[in-house]
């Protein structure tokens, strides 16, 4: 401490006392300090309650984070789940067909169905319509789902013809393999593929030929329905009966819509003559090519 005196400046060292300062008398000096609150000791009830609350909050946040992470993972897996649905139904169909035709033919047959359906999927996406991946139904074929078949009857015809067109190319490839290898299973696959694509070109909805007739001549729906009826009588089977049922309902519904529809319904079926002629050329060309393909792949049986 520095102190000033008349004799000049000098320094003196002051040491703090070792003993605590005596408490001041009442009324003198500073008032006594209030005792500080004692902090909760480890293991006390207050400390335990605080730790428990923090633990519950942390556990809840962790659970929410885990749920969000699983939800995000599910969203990322949705395209893969659709692919798994397609692959799974394909395997089920292969297993079902194998009991009747054997494994090798069943695999080739399902592959031809896939090629046919992918023709529809590719054309739908070209029309700007999102389409699902094919889903296979044993002994009934395969289906795809879409919110529409295009903006007008011409687009619907393109979508309908794309399936038999690509399916015919797949059957022709089987024919080439048979010619190259001589394995009769490829011949059988080619004949079956030609037949199924030709059958799909019957001019009745919901078959692919009925889609083409929407742009060519909708009145042909009645001709196709009239052709299905004796076929169902002569060759009764669940597939033909289902087609007859759906064809009758769909033909009646569409024709009634056309008769009662307004401007939008009439505009849907309005097709330019040159486009109508192009659809007719593709349709009739496919029918002729498939008939020739069936004849070339047919196996003549002789009984001796």
The answer on pLDDT for 39 being more than 60 is no
The domain spans of the chain are 60-297
* ∠ Cα 97 108 117 (to 5°): 90
**In the chain, what is the greatest distance between 2 CA atoms, to the nearest angstrom?**
152
Contacts of 167 (CB under 8 A, 6+ apart): 112, 115, 116, 119, 193, 196, 197, 200
- Would residue 10 be called left, alpha or beta, if left means φ above 0 and alpha means ψ between -120 and 50 degrees? beta
The answer on pLDDT for 77 being more than 50 is no
Output the average pLDDT for the chain.
79
Phi then psi for 72, rounded to 5 degrees?
A: -65, -40
CA gap 199, 47 in Å, rounded: 81
* pLDDT tens-place string over residues 256-271: 887 777 667 778 888 9
More confident site: 71 or 89? 89
The answer on pLDDT for 106 being more than 50 is yes
* pLDDT tens-place string over residues 185-240: 999 999 999 999 999 999 998 899 999 999 998 888 898 888 888 888 888 888 88
Lookup: tokens for 74: 């599910």
The arithmetic mean of pLDDT across residues 171-185, rounded, is 95
Q: Which of 106-120, 148-162, 255-269, 280-294 has the lowest mean pLDDT?
A: 255-269
């Amino acid at each position: 401490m520095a102190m000033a005196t008349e004799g000049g400046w000098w320094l003196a060292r002051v040491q703090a006392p070792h003993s605590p300062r005596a408490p001041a008398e009442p009324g003198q000096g500073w008032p006594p300090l209030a005792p500080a609150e004692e902090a909760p000791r480890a293991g006390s009830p207050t400390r335990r309650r605080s730790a428990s609350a923090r633990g519950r909050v942390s556990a809840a946040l962790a659970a929410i984070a885990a749920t969000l992470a699983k939800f995000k993972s599910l969203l990322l897996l949705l395209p893969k789940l659709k692919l798994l649905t397609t692959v799974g139904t394909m395997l089920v169909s292969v297993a079902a067909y194998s009991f009747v035709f054997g494994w090798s033919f069943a695999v080739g047959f399902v592959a031809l169905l896939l090629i046919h359906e992918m023709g529809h999927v590719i054309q739908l996406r070209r029309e700007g319509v999102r389409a699902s991946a094919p889903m296979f139904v044993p002994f009934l074929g395969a289906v795809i789902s879409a919110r529409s078949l295009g903006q007008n009857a011409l687009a619907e015809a393109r979508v309908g013809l794309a399936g038999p067109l690509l399916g015919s190319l797949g059957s022709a490839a089987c024919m080439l393999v048979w010619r190259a290898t001589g394995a009769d299973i490829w011949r059988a696959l080619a004949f079956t593929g030609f037949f199924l694509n030709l059958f799909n070109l019957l001019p009745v909805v919901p078959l692919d030929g009925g889609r083409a007739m929407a742009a060519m001549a909708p009145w042909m729906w009645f001709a196709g329905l009239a052709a299905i009826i004796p076929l169902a009588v002569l060759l009764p089977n669940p597939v033909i009966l289902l087609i007859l049922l759906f064809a009758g309902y769909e033909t009646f519904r569409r024709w009634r819509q056309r008769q009662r529809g307004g401007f939008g319904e009439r505009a849907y079926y309005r097709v330019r003559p040159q486009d109508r002629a192009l659809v007719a050329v593709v349709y009739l060309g496919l029918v002729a090519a498939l008939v020739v393909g069936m004849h070339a792949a047919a196996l003549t049986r002789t009984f001796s």
